[in-house]
Amino acid sequence: MIEKSELVLFLLSLGVLFFLIGNTSRFKKIPSSNILIAGFLVFFTGWVFTILEGFFWGTFLNIIEHICYIAGLVLVAVWCWKMFGRKEIR
């Protein structure tokens, strides 16, 4: 069974995905944007698995969903480290 909050999150993320596709050239100006975009896409995949697990392969898709969340967190953390963590010492 699908939770209402999961469906709302999926629909909102679908809107963000369309926004991202429509503004790809703007996002390319952000340093290391490919890592940030990949992080969002991995999170989005996890949200898709959240919806699908309500219909079939519940346990398997739940595990894959959480693996997607971990991978997304790692990608966003790497992007944050590249953006804000490294400071050149002069």
Name the nearest CA neighbour of 10 among 54, 46, 47, 40.
Answer: 47
Amino acid identity, residue 5? S
Which residue in this structure is represented by tokens 């969903």? Answer: 65
Q: Where are the domains of the chain?
A: 32-90
- pLDDT confidence band for 5 (50 / 70 / 90): very high
Q: Is pLDDT of 20 > 70?
A: yes
How far is it, in rounded angstroms, from Cα 45 to Cα 54? 15
Tell me the pLDDT tens digit for each residue of 69-88.
999 999 999 999 999 986 66
Say what the pTM is. 0.89
Tell me the pLDDT tens digit for each residue of 45-60.
999 999 999 999 999 9
